[in-house]
Amino acid sequence: MRNLTLGALLLLIQAPSNAYEFASVDPAKMGFDPETLTTIQANFDELYQEGRIPNYVMGVYSGGKNIYLAKNGNVSIDGGQAVDENTIFWLASMTKPIVSTAILRLQEEGKLGLDDKLSKYFPEYADMLVAPGGSYTATLEPAKTEITLRHLITHTSGLTYQTSVSGVGDVAEQYDEFGVMGCLRPNPDRPIASLAEEARFLAELPLISHPGESWNYSVSIDLLGAIIEQVTRKRLADYLDEIIFTPLEMTSTTFNITPELSSRTADVYSTASPAQLSSLDYDSDIPWKLVEAGWNFKNTTPACDSGGGGLFGSISDYAAYLTMIANGGEFNGKRILNSVSMNEHLRDQTTQLGREAFRRGFGEDASSYMKFSAGFGRKLDVDPDTDEETVDYYFWGGAANTSFWVDTENDTVGVFATQLTPSLYNKNNEIEQIVDEAIRK
């Protein structure tokens, strides 16, 4: 009896309560060729068996159903729970689309506007200086225009990131030095009092380009988080809970890994350097090429809720969010955004910049297919003769090698998670193409 009670208790702890559960269905009944879908797994098994990723979970969803799930490994390479669709991963930059959704919700409710100036919320941003290209060797210039919320949501504000993400120049090195927006891992020499205080501190550093003139991946979405807190007078975590996580039953999505969540939260790893490899001695059949990233999220409370990268969650939860996006703002009877907001969310917001704008940050491949909406990358199919662009899917990814796509045309959603930082293996294109092929067959 005692064992039974303990077993029931363990089940209770392991399974997220009141979470939305996607029904698993035979893909053939949904019009997908099952054999084609099964080829997805090999893409990740090779990386896992070579010891290059610690584990993985990949889910494909359509029509609110789970049509494919592949997984391998445990929350730690030393053992622990086997990973599955309910395992909690650090989502990192996959936080950004969710925070963007919240901004559009506030706009929909008339509480703010994308064309508001940032200085309306944080006056410190009224007179920004620009260090062109992030370089301090040139003379600083006064910003030609003020930063708006639209600049923030589209990463055209002129802000940048730390060098380890894709930060630019001396300015990015200052971000490193100060640990700017380091909610999860604050600089011990510069504790973060609040998100608002951090937003004000950031205004002291110059921009790397004039607002609206170039695309620079940045801490802009962290600033949007600070604005949400100011407008709603709630902590970002609480507001997102209220308008997104609770309605969509995303019960495993959180900014704070509490002790109760710890056992089903995956550890974060980094690729071992060749020198580190020589000192590894894992007792495993898999030749791990990984070392712990040294980010102990499990026993720390974040200093603030990072809208740019602070969320943890399961792929099942994230699929619920993306299904809402694929459904035009509503899922499971809960409407999160209206059609006007959804149009704003997904439309091209970087028409003035073109695809070339993404070369510097993400390389020439990205510059051949990418544009950006208010929160999502837009993967384009480009007609080589006419240069006409059509959206293939919407996407983004996280610093610990999580990624997703949403194809609103064929109503498919894919979510992938492992825990490797920096992220090295983004197979969105390959997997989305396999799913497309499974539909055609």
Partner 1 sequence: MRQVFYYWLFAWIVVIAPIAQKAHSASLAQQPFPELSRLVKEGFLPNYHVVVVDSEGQLTTQAESYEGGVVSVDAIKTTSTVALLSLSKPITNLLALRLVTLGYLALDEPVSKYLPKFEDPRMQSTDQASSDALRAISIRDLLIHTAGFAQNAELLGWGEVANTYAEQAIFGFDCLNHDAQETLAQITDRLAGLPLASEPGKKFAYSVATDVLGRVLEVAAGESFDVLLRKHISIPLAMPGLTARITGKRLADIAQLYQPLIKTYPVPGAYQRYEPFTGIDGNFSGDDLEEVCISPGSGLFASMNDMVVFIEFLRNDLVLKNGEPFLSESLGEQVFEHALDASFGNRPLRRSLAYAGKDGISIASLAIRPKNGLGLALENEHDFYYWSGFSGSGIWIDRSNNTAGVLLTQLYPSDQFLIPKLVGKVRASLK
Q: Residue for token digits 């490193």?
A: 176
CA distance 318 to 404: 9
Residue type (1 letter), 343: N
CA distance 366 to 144: 28
CA distance 20 to 251: 8
**38 or 426, CB closer to partner 1?**
426
Kindly state the smallest distance separating residue 428's Cβ from partner 1, in Å.
Answer: 4
Q: At what angle do helices 339-346 and 315-326 cross, to 10 degrees?
A: 110
Kindly state the smallest distance separating residue 234's Cβ from partner 1, in Å.
Answer: 27
Q: Are 161 and 172 in contact (CB under 8 A)?
A: yes
Q: Are 417 and 426 in contact (CB under 8 A)?
A: no
Total interface residues for partner 1 by CB under 8 A: 45
363 forms part of the interface with partner 1 (CB under 8 A) = yes
CA distance 37 to 368: 27
165 forms part of the interface with partner 1 (CB under 8 A) = yes
What stretch of H or E contains 55?
strand 55-62
Region of 98-106, 221-229, 238-246, 270-278 interacting with partner 1 (CB under 8 A): 270-278
Beta strands, E only, 143-244? none
Q: Mask 72-91, x = binds partner 1 (CB under 8 A)?
A: --------------------
Beta strands, E only, 314-417? 330-331, 334-335, 370-372, 377-382, 389-398, 402-407, 412-417
42 forms part of the interface with partner 1 (CB under 8 A) = no
Q: Strand 65-76 to strand 23-24: parallel, antiparallel, or no bridges (unpaired)?
A: parallel
User: Contacting partner 1 (CB under 8 A), which of 81, 230, 410, 423?
Assistant: 423
Helices (H) and strands (E) in the chain, counts: 14, 17
User: Contacting partner 1 (CB under 8 A), which of 280, 352, 356, 440?
Assistant: 280
Region of 21-29, 103-111, 140-148, 423-431 interacting with partner 1 (CB under 8 A): 423-431
301 forms part of the interface with partner 1 (CB under 8 A) = no
**105 or 378, CB closer to partner 1?**
378
User: Contacting partner 1 (CB under 8 A), which of 205, 236, 396, 413?
Assistant: 396
What stretch of H or E contains 38?
helix 34-38
Kindly state the smallest distance separating residue 155's Cβ from partner 1, in Å.
Answer: 11
User: Contacting partner 1 (CB under 8 A), which of 82, 277, 286, 439?
Assistant: 277
Residue type (1 letter), 204: E
For 67-72, which contacts have Cβ atoms below 8 Å and span 24 or more sequence positions? 67/24, 67/25, 67/27, 67/30, 67/32, 67/37, 68/27, 68/32, 68/37, 68/40, 68/435, 69/24, 70/40, 70/41, 70/44, 72/44, 72/45, 72/48
215 forms part of the interface with partner 1 (CB under 8 A) = no
Kindly state the smallest distance separating residue 329's Cβ from partner 1, in Å.
Answer: 23
39 forms part of the interface with partner 1 (CB under 8 A) = no
Kindly state the smallest distance separating residue 331's Cβ from partner 1, in Å.
Answer: 24
Kindly state the smallest distance separating residue 171's Cβ from partner 1, in Å.
Answer: 16
Region of 24-32, 162-170, 176-184, 343-351 interacting with partner 1 (CB under 8 A): 162-170
12: buried, middle or exposed (CB in 10 Å: 19+, 13-18, 0-12)? exposed
Kindly state the smallest distance separating residue 206's Cβ from partner 1, in Å.
Answer: 22
Kindly state the smallest distance separating residue 140's Cβ from partner 1, in Å.
Answer: 26
196 forms part of the interface with partner 1 (CB under 8 A) = no
371 forms part of the interface with partner 1 (CB under 8 A) = no
295 forms part of the interface with partner 1 (CB under 8 A) = no
214 forms part of the interface with partner 1 (CB under 8 A) = no
Q: Which residues bind partner 1 (CB under 8 A)?
A: 92-93, 163-166, 217, 271-281, 289, 358-360, 362-366, 369-370, 377, 379, 395-399, 403, 421-424, 426-429
